Structure 1
Amino acid sequence: MKQQTVRPSAAGPVDHAIDRPSKTGARRIRRPLDVTWLNFTVRRTGRLLVSLGVLVTASFFMIHLVPGDPVRASLGSSAPQELVEARRAALGLNDPIWSQYVHYLKNLLAGDFGESITRPGLSVSQIIGQRLPATIELAGLAFVIAMLVSIPLGVLMAALTRGGRRQRTELAFTSSSIVFAAIPEFILAVGLVCLFGQGVGLLGIFPVAGRSGPLSLVLPVISLAVAPTVVLARVVRVEVLTVMEADYIRTARSKRLRAWRLYLRHALPNAVTATLTLSGLLLGGLIAGTVLVESVMAWPGLGSSMVSSILTKDYPLVQGIVLVYGVVVLVINLVVDVVLAVLDPRSAIQES
């Protein structure tokens, strides 16, 4: 039988986007990569905008549903009623709630977060600008330490316990990681203060209040980093153990490669996807966890300002801080999705 050859047509080259016919006779059309990335970008941008809208609306109405008079709380119980009413009128708190919401959206689109009720003369943007660097420093260091400790620890535990070996070591690791992951950050912070705090702790090594230098970072950073570290270490261990059973790892092992090269060069890069996904979620949790840790440690960040502004019913400041926290978490999730799509384009194709 004479074999037929396929020649390019005069109209142009053969379209490589069409796969060969399948067993059922149907042809599967693959979409161009640029269209896939365009769909992925549109979907992610749409989700981000919807999430921002929900965040802005929820933060506004949630704060206004808190009982109490913020003006009376800021001026004190002895302030004249005329002064209170004048202040409420100046802040627009006597307007209907829908009118306040529309006014808030207009100011927000113009980049104006409003003025603090309890700190006259200071805008919310100024307060956030003063406090945000301290919170980023705290959460960023905790995240870096969690990544630097959890990945080597997870790989080491996978190497030690592979194939059912060292069951006591595996039991000790899993049990201790569950315990440390279950301890809330602020409880751990109180325990560390009682043990290592200067003037109040048994050992009295590290400062327990304020942002006074590198030593003042130790206790709050440890309080934030412990839970993410043990969680990530468990995930890395499980992923590495799964990858080690793959065929290409067996092939690499048959070439008698050194153990460190087998784990670090072949197993770890293929196990990092799930770790990266979870690390993005944990970074968002670290940002939120700074609220209580900063209050315990008297850290001059957004968290302590948020707690004090809730107690004094400072609506504009609470809304601004909640919005900043929410935007940071949303942006982190978006960045993680994009990085995962770059590392594994199949995830972008599946989303599209």
Structure 2
Amino acid sequence: MTAPSIAEASRTPGAGAGSAGSRYLRHRWVGFSLRRLGGLLLSFAVLVTVTFLIVPLIPGDPAVIAAGEGANPAQIAAVRAELGLDLPLLTQFLNYASGVLRLDMGASFISGESVSALIFTRFPFTAEIALLAIVLVLAIAVPLGMAVAILTRGGRNRWLDAGFNFVTSLIYSVPQYVVATLLVVVFAVTLRWFPAAGAATLNSLVLPTAALMLGPACVISRIVRRETAAVLEKDYIRTAHGWRLSVLRTNARYVLPNLVTTTLTLSGLILAAQLGGAVVIETVFAWPGLGQGIVNAILQRDYPVIRGIILVLGLLATLIIILVDLILAIIDPRNLGGTTYDV
């Protein structure tokens, strides 16, 4: 037998299949990355365009506010020219878009402060309560949902199931600003346990974080309960019980991993939504984050600040969703897309 024939004989069919499967998986990662990059660029373009177009729809003339009380028409016209509001709309848009691409979102009409600097100053406060809220949501909602599903399995403890559904539905149905107001009245004004407003101490975190997390915790706990109940009816769970594995080990090894995809997806969406929901919470608690910043900017018709904050919040929400997609794809490559997964 010649050398080439020996080499060919030594090759196993599985080696070629594995190589082809690896190439296929790499191609799917390339496609996944390109789709997410394209989605990010499209979202960026839409955000830049929409933020530019909708802000001037706010009633009121920013030049009048920036000029101050008692300004005459000539002074107002001079301020309008200084702010660039007298330029054609297309020119204003091109100036705005080119500035964003250079990471320069302009200066505040009112204070003259750089919008980028203002955002960097306020963003940590918003991130603080948003991240703390989502961590507490997961720490409370996942164990709670699993516990209710386990305790009510097979129709047991119907009172617990009914009470859980009633309480979570009630809390979730109450608007966030009402929840925030009730928390202030009860825990800040009546009991005086926590500050009613501001961010001076660690105690100041408690009420805004609680107001931000209660609704999402109810949603995730209900979904985790439903998913856990479905998993508990699977054959492999019955097999695990047949092996006399402990309840804790069975749930940790077989139930919890099946909740990762759903819980992670919801957590990403909720965290993205928290950035927008923080506007209401920060206003109620006078929390010095981006939410309070955009409310103040709207009241003052401060176009650059409004546009900058909306753009940053929109991009952060998009990046969070893309990050969740990436993590899910790493955990299970079937999430890369496509109809088959042959490796």
Written as runs of structure 1 = structure 2, the 5 A alignment for 1:17-96 is: 32-96=24-88
**Residue 168 (structure 2) aligns with:** 177
1:184 Cα deviation from its structure 2 partner: 2.0
**Residue 180 (structure 2) aligns with:** 189
- Partner Cα distance (1:176, 1:351) in 2: 41
1:167 Cα deviation from its structure 2 partner: 0.9
Pick the aligned partner of 2:311 from 323, 335, 338. 323
- Partner Cα distance (1:134, 1:246) in 2: 44
Q: Deviations over 1:216-257 (max 9, x none)?
A: 111101000101111111111111111112222121111011
1:290 Cα deviation from its structure 2 partner: 0.7
Pick the aligned partner of 2:135 from 140, 144, 147. 144
- Partner Cα distance (1:326, 1:168) in 2: 42
Contact 2:187–2:194 (8 Å) recurs in 1: yes
1:10 Cα deviation from its structure 2 partner: 7.2
Contact 1:55–1:326 (8 Å) recurs in 2: yes
Written as runs of structure 1 = structure 2, the 5 A alignment for 1:143-222 is: 143-197=134-188, 201-222=189-210
**Residue 3 (structure 2) aligns with:** none
Structure 1, unaligned runs of 5 or more: 1-6, 20-28
SS at match of 2:133: helix
1:341 Cα deviation from its structure 2 partner: 0.8
Written as runs of structure 1 = structure 2, the 5 A alignment for 1:184-263 is: 184-197=175-188, 201-263=189-251
1:8 Cα deviation from its structure 2 partner: 8.0
Contact 2:66–2:79 (8 Å) recurs in 1: no
**Residue 325 (structure 2) aligns with:** 337
Say if 1:286 and 1:17 are closer, same or farther in 2 by CA, change over 3 A. farther
Contact 1:244–1:267 (8 Å) recurs in 2: yes
1:100 Cα deviation from its structure 2 partner: 0.5
SS at match of 1:350: coil
Higher helix share: 2
- AA aligned to 1:196 is F
- Partner Cα distance (1:351, 1:176) in 2: 41
Contact 2:328–2:335 (8 Å) recurs in 1: yes
Say if 1:39 and 1:15 are closer, same or farther in 2 by CA, change over 3 A. farther
Pick the aligned partner of 1:310 from 298, 303, 326. 298
Written as runs of structure 1 = structure 2, the 5 A alignment for 1:85-124 is: 85-120=77-112, 122-124=113-115
Say if 1:125 and 1:30 are closer, same or farther in 2 by CA, change over 3 A. closer
- Partner Cα distance (2:16, 2:298) in 1: 57
Contact 1:17–1:31 (8 Å) recurs in 2: no
RMSD: 2.1
SS at match of 2:152: helix
Pick the aligned partner of 1:131 from 90, 103, 122. 122
The worse-fitting range, judged by mean Cα deviation, of 74-83 and 333-342 is: 74-83
Q: Deviations over 1:117-141 (max 9, x none)?
A: 0112x11011111111111111111
1:351 Cα deviation from its structure 2 partner: 7.7
- Partner Cα distance (1:48, 1:135) in 2: 22
1:289 Cα deviation from its structure 2 partner: 0.9
- Partner Cα distance (1:17, 1:59) in 2: 52
Structure 2, unaligned runs of 5 or more: 1-5
The worse-fitting range, judged by mean Cα deviation, of 84-93 and 205-214 is: 84-93
Report the number of matched residues.
334
Contact 2:67–2:79 (8 Å) recurs in 1: no
Say if 1:11 and 1:117 are closer, same or farther in 2 by CA, change over 3 A. farther
**Residue 24 (structure 1) aligns with:** none
Q: Deviations over 1:142-182 (max 9, x none)?
A: 11111111111111111111111111110110111111112
- The answer as to 2:273 corresponding to 1:285 is yes
TM-score between both structures, scaled by the size of structure 1: 0.90
